[in-house]
Amino acid sequence: MTASDLSTSTTVEGTSERTAAHIETTERYAAHNYHPLPVVLAQGEGAWVVDVDGKRYLDCLAGYSALNFGHSNERLVAVAREQLGRLTLTSRAFFNDKLSGFAEALTRLTGKDMILPMNSGAEAVETAIKVSRKWGYEVKGVPAGQATIITMEGNFHGRTTTIVSFSDDDVATSGYAPFTTGFRSAKYGDIEAIAAAIDETTVGVLFEPIQGEGGVVMPPEGFLTQLRELCTERDVLMIADEIQSGLARSGKTFACDHEGVVPDIYIMGKALGGGIYPVSAIAADHEVMDVITPGSHGSTFGGNPLAAAIGTEVVAMLEEGTFQARSAEIGEQLVAGFGPLVGQGLSDVRVRGAWAGIDIDPSLMTGRQMSEALMARGILAKDTHGSTVRFAPPLVASDEDVAGLVAAVTDILAAARA
């Protein structure tokens, strides 16, 4: 098999034989559901990763925020290793000695009464949808089979059949119909549009406090407060997908904290497993969570001892506050570095904590081309929606690391404009 045989546009030109072999074998035997950059990673520590040829890269994607605490975090690795030698899985047919501590810790972090643990972020979103519908029928009194949930334009909550049913991304939806009903779309950040979409069948409003996949898109100032007030007034659940934006990524424990807002349901994932193991959960108070009864929802791996041990340590690290503070510091550095580039190759910059989206002048280059140029300079990032590139370095990245990212983007844009 040669590079010309590949059915995707991933290229191995200019790569080593070792890298090319890995890419070609992966493309032959693994479905082409991603379009990765032509780099094959083998090791990681802190904010840095190393490829199969020994080249180091600053990881500015951090597993879509799953690696907030960095690669091979010593505390998390130690907890995982210890638990691997004790007990990894029982299923929820039995109690285990780690779930109790995890549940107590995560309710303390969220301020909610109960959690429901799952594995992937998409599972947590599906869980929130199910809980919201059941709450609508059993508590709010919505007629059977009529529950509706308001979703946002430009959303990304996962790729299960139900979730893509309310996506407006053609790539995510094409070829997967028929779709699940019961969802109404409203313009993100438009409180009037959301209010108009709510009726007596509405059980919840599902939203991202920051739309990560959309390019780190933030709603207007005050929107979260307005949404909280609207949901309370109309007896509708406020459902915050904090899978990417939460757990210190935005400079606060949760992105909703920037407006002092507490949703009815938190949806968490990614960094909850420390980049080591898939851990997700929703958190809510008794009025909402008590609709779940034995057999009405579950998961073989949800709440397993290994996941719970890691998740408990993640909560302990977050309760110290140092990662939130570091995220805010990185954000200040990104604003200072990227801000002056608007009009100098960038059309817009959006930063919240250690999370940035830059919109490149499309006449200069695409987001993919910027990502490839950064990779050549030892920095890994990911494009989205054509001319946008997202940056989400691990929160252990140093000032020097962040300065190197800013300098690289600055140099690449200057060369493109020359």
Please identify every residue annotated as catalytic: 156, 241, 270
Those residues whose C-beta lies under 8 Å from the C-beta of residue 226, and which sit 6 or more positions away, are 191
Q: Which two tokens stand for residue 342?
A: 């608007």
Instruction: Tell the residue number behind the tokens 């972090």, with chain if given.
Output: 109
Q: Which two tokens stand for residue 129?
A: 């949808």
Distances (CA, A) of 73 to 67, 85, 155, 310: 9, 19, 31, 11
Q: What is the CA radius of gyration of the chain?
A: 22
Q: Which two tokens stand for residue 341?
A: 């580039």
Nearest CA to 352 out of 223, 252, 268, 267 is that of: 252
Strands 114-118 and 148-152 turn out to be unpaired
Q: Can you say whether residue 58 is alpha, beta or left, with left for phi > 0 and alpha for psi between -120 and 50 degrees?
A: beta
DSSP label of 53? T
In our burial notation (b when 16+ CB lie closer than 10 A, e otherwise), range 175-204 reads eeeeeeebbbbbebbbbeebbebbeebbbb
Q: Can you say whether residue 15 is alpha, beta or left, with left for phi > 0 and alpha for psi between -120 and 50 degrees?
A: beta
Please state, in angstroms and rounded to a whole number, the distance separating the CA atoms of residues 391 and 376. 16
> To which H or E segment does residue 104 belong?
helix 99-110
> To which H or E segment does residue 336 belong?
helix 322-338
